[in-house]
Structure formats: structure tokens, C-alpha cells
């Protein structure tokens, strides 16, 4: 493998005007440092993906792209969500890049891990995961729920890299395989391990958000977790079937028990037990229907085959074409 290769760093952005100056400064320093060390090509780029921001994010990206040769941008026509923005950036950058790194704009993921990822790539790894070495910056609630989520996904048979989000390096070949997965319900943390190829891990300490507000409040985190479960496993449906058989068996046992009590003349009318049973079974039925409905909804989204993202402007491609003409 050549020691000098073209690297693109994809950064999804949604209302990130407060942090974009610092993000550009830190990433630009990393890229230029790697260029000076002759590890990556001078044509390497930082690709900011504006995911339908409502603030000045795109204006800043456009400005930075004019002032910095390594900075480019992709503007989506509307908000497609974090996963869609990531995929749009990878789609654009992987066409002529030897490797692509994805990282969030909030600077919580340590940019100093990028050179280590590059070294692992040069050593032959085609997928390099950025993995948190601790969760000290998280609340106790978030730490415990994250641990439960990874354990539950493991129980369902979904292969995830614990404590690894969307901070990773992928070779061009790995990116092309990733893009061949056509599902609309994107959960890249689950899809990337399916790509295969030689992988490695780089550990780093996660920081506090530099500025602005988190784009993943509790509500979105719950939705993200549900998408992860229902996009990769049908075990919940099988569990519902098992629960149904258990309830039927338990009801049959209670029926026999009631007959025995009736024969012995030891029957006490129980309004409370009747109502509790009705409410309990009603709750189980509603939960079961909602789980099945989640799967049906995903089928509904998939069969429509709508675009996963729409690019309004692609500065990355514009700059690449200009460079090729020189």
C-alpha cells in the first residue's frame, strides 16, 4: 500500500455555527500535519455536510471552502438526519478518496485519534473504529442505558463495537461495500461491522461538547435505539410469540385451578383480579401490536424506495473537478 493516499474527513453538520470555526481549525491542523508528514496526499479534503441547517452553517462552510483549499462542503436539500448526512458525505467523498473518516462536528470525538487511524490504515486495516476508553463525560443514567443497549443488541445477535459511535475510518473498498446496502432505515453502527475486511480499534477519551446543544436528546436516543433493534433483528417478534404462548399456558392453568376451586365450593368473586388481568393482557397486546407495527412501518418505508438524501450543492466534487483540470 502506498504511504501517501487521499483522505477525506466527512463531518455531518446540523445547526453547528457555534462550533464550526473551532472544528475547521482543529481538523485543518490535523490534515495539514499529515500532509507535511507525507502520510496523506495534498489533495486530501475535509467534507462538511450541511444537513438542512437553519442557522448560518452553510454560509460558514461556503466561506471556509473559499479560504481553505482542504475544506469543501456538501449541502443537502433538507434535513435527512444524522445517518443520512453521513451517508451523503461518504457517497460523495469515496468516489476518488482512498479512505474516508467520519466524525461529528461537536469536537467530542478527539481529533488527535485521526493520525492513529491513518497509521492503522497504512498497516493494512480497512475499517478502523474510534472507541471511547471511558464514559466519564456521561451521566450515570446514560452510562447504564448505553451498557444495557449494547448487551441487548448482543443478545439479539447484532454485532456492534461497544462504545464506538460514528467515528471511524473506512477504505474506499469498504465504503463501496457499505454503499451497496440499500436500506432506508439507516443504522450505520450495525451495518459497518457487516462490511467485513480487516479491522482495528483506536481508543480515545471523549470530551465535553465544545459549544452549542446536543442534537441527540433522550427522545432521539430512544428512537435511535429502537431503529437499531428493529433494523437488524426479528427476535422481538419471536419474543412476542413466546410471550403469547406463555400467557395461553398460564391462562389454561388458571382455568383448571378455577374449576377445582368451583368443585370444592371455595369460590370468592374477585373483581380486582379480573380487572388486573384485563389491564395486564390489554397492555401486553398493545405492546405486541406496536412492536409488529414498527416492523410494518419499516417495510412501508423500504418498499417506497425514496432517496436516502438529496444533494443541493457539492463543493467537494466542484473542487475535485477543478484540480483534475490543472
Residue 229 lies in a domain: no
All three cell numbers of 35, joined, read 500532509
One domain for residues 284 and 319: no
Q: Is residue 223 part of a domain?
A: no
Domain check: are 79 and 122 in the same one?
yes
Q: In the 3-class helix/strand/coil scheme, how is 246-290 assigned residue by residue? A: HHHHHHHHHHHHHHHHHHCCCCCCCHHHHHHHHHHHHHHHHHHHH
DSSP SS3 for 306: coil
320 lies in a domain?
Answer: yes
Q: Say if residue 289 is in the same domain as residue 188.
A: no
Q: What DSSP string describes 182-206?
A: --SS--HHHHHHHH-S-EEEEEEPP
In this structure, the answer to whether residues 105 and 195 fall within a common structural domain is yes
Q: Are residues 317 and 299 in the same domain?
A: no
Same domain, yes or no: 14 and 29: yes
Residue 152, pLDDT above cutoff 70 = no
Residue owning grid cell 481549525: 25
Report yes or no on 134 lying in a domain: yes
Report the pLDDT averaged over residues 192-213. 76
Assess whether 108 and 174 both reside in one domain: yes
Q: Which residue has the higher pLDDT, 177 or 160?
A: 177
Q: Which domain holds residue 18?
A: 7-214+307-325
**Which of 79-93, 99-113, 200-214 has the weakest average pLDDT?**
200-214
Confirm whether pTM is higher than 0.75: no
Residues 145 and 257 in one domain: no
How many domains, the chain? 2
- Say whether both 274 and 167 belong to one domain: no
Residue 228 domain flag? no
Name the CA dihedral angle for 168, 169, 172, 176, rounded to a multiple of 10 degrees: -10
Q: pLDDT class for 148, splitting at 50, 70, 90?
A: confident
Map grid coordinates 477525506 to a residue: 8
Q: Is the pLDDT of residue 79 over 80?
A: yes
CATH number of the domain residue 94 falls in: 3.90.550.10
26-40, 92-106, 207-221, 248-262: lowest mean pLDDT where? 207-221
Q: How many helices (H) and strands (E) does the chain have?
A: 11, 8
Note the pLDDT tens digit of each residue in 264-322: 666 566 644 665 577 667 767 767 777 777 777 767 666 766 667 778 777 877 777 77
Mean pLDDT across 31-51: 90
- Asked if the structure places residue 258 within a domain, the reply is yes
197 with 318, same domain? Answer: yes
Residues 6+ apart with CB under 8 A from 251: none
Mean pLDDT of the chain: 78
Residues 21, 90, single domain; the answer is: yes
Residue 224 lies in a domain: no
Q: What is the pLDDT of residue 204?
A: 86
Do residues 93 and 116 share a domain? yes
Residue 230 lies in a domain: no
Give the per-residue pLDDT at 48: 94
Amino acid at each position: 500500500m502506498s504511504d501517501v493516499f487521499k483522505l477525506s474527513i466527512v463531518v455531518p453538520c446540523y445547526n453547528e455555527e457555534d462550533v464550526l470555526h473551532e472544528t475547521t481549525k482543529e481538523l485543518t491542523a490535523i490534515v495539514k500535519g499529515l500532509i507535511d508528514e507525507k502520510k496523506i496526499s495534498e489533495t486530501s479534503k475535509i467534507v462538511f455536510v450541511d444537513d438542512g441547517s437553519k442557522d448560518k452553517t452553510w454560509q460558514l462552510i461556503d466561506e471556509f471552502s473559499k479560504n481553505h483549499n482542504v475544506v469543501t462542503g456538501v449541502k443537502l436539500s433538507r434535513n435527512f438526519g444524522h445517518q443520512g448526512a453521513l451517508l451523503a458525505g461518504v457517497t460523495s467523498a469515496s468516489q476518488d478518496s482512498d479512505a474516508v473518516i467520519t466524525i461529528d462536528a461537536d469536537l467530542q470525538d478527539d481529533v488527535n485519534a485521526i493520525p492513529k487511524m491513518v497509521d492503522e490504515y497504512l498497516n493494512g486495516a480497512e475499517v478502523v473504529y474510534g472507541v471511547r476508553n471511558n464514559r466519564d463525560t456521561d451521566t450515570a443514567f446514560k452510562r447504564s442505558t448505553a451498557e444495557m443497549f449494547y448487551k441487548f443488541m448482543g443478545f439479539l445477535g447484532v454485532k456492534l463495537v461497544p462504545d464506538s459511535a460514528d467515528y471511524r475510518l473506512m477504505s474506499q473498498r469498504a465504503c463501496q461495500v457499505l454503499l451497496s446496502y440499500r436500506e432506508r432505515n439507516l443504522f450505520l453502527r450495525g451495518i459497518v461491522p457487516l462490511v467485513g475486511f480487516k479491522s482495528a480499534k483506536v481508543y480515545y477519551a471523549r470530551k465535553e461538547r465544545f459549544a452549542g446543544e446536543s442534537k441527540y436528546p433522550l427522545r432521539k436516543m430512544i428512537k435511535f435505539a429502537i431503529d437499531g433493534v428493529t433494523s437488524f433483528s426479528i427476535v422481538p417478534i419471536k419474543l412476542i410469540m413466546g410471550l403469547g404462548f406463555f400467557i395461553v399456558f398460564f391462562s389454561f392453568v388458571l382455568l383448571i385451578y378455577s374449576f377445582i376451586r368451583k368443585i370444592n365450593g371455595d369460590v370468592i368473586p374477585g373483581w380486582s383480579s379480573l380487572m388486573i388481568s384485563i389491564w395486564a393482557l390489554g397492555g401486553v397486546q398493545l405492546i405486541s401490536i406496536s412492536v409488529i407495527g414498527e416492523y410494518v412501518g419499516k417495510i412501508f418505508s423500504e418498499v417506497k424506495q425514496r432517496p436516502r438524501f438529496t444533494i443541493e450543492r457539492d463543493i467537494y466534487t466542484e473542487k475535485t473537478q477543478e484540480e483534475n483540470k490543472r
